[in-house]
Amino acid sequence: MLTKDIREMSEADINARIAELERERFNLRIASGTRTLDDPLRLRVIRKDVARLKTVLREKIIGIAEAKEVEPTPVKARRVTGRRGRKAATAINRAKRSKRA
């Protein structure tokens, strides 16, 4: 189940789908105790679908729009501290000086 398909569903439809998947998951868990399942990965798929449905439902309830990508803020240069940092810094400076010469 794709997230964009879930976003188009109403809250009532999402709740109904969650209940349906939970019922199926319960039946599969009971069946797995008595016999081997035809598709054991179905349990994982159901669990992830339920999580996806609950996430979109929560977004609808609190009014979050679809997530937008945010550009990362530039990282400030760190101050060189400690012996290893100073050694690395001097090695970099030596390499820069040798390129200039």
Query: Considering only the top CATH level, what class is 3-62?
Result: mainly alpha
pLDDT tens-digit series, residues 46-67: 999 999 999 999 999 988 866 5
Which has the higher per-residue pLDDT, 3 or 42?
42
Domain ranges in the chain? 3-62
Supply the pLDDT for residue 56: 93
Give the Å distances, CA to CA, from 18 to 1, 88, 91, 97: 12, 55, 59, 64
- The pLDDT tens digits for 2-21 are 888 999 999 999 999 999 99
pTM for this prediction: 0.61
Helices (H), the chain: 3-8, 11-34, 42-62, 82-100
Q: What angle do CA 4, 6, 69 make, to 5 degrees?
A: 40
For residue 64, what is the DSSP state? -
Geometric angle at alpha carbon 78, from 77 and 83, rounded to 5°: 140
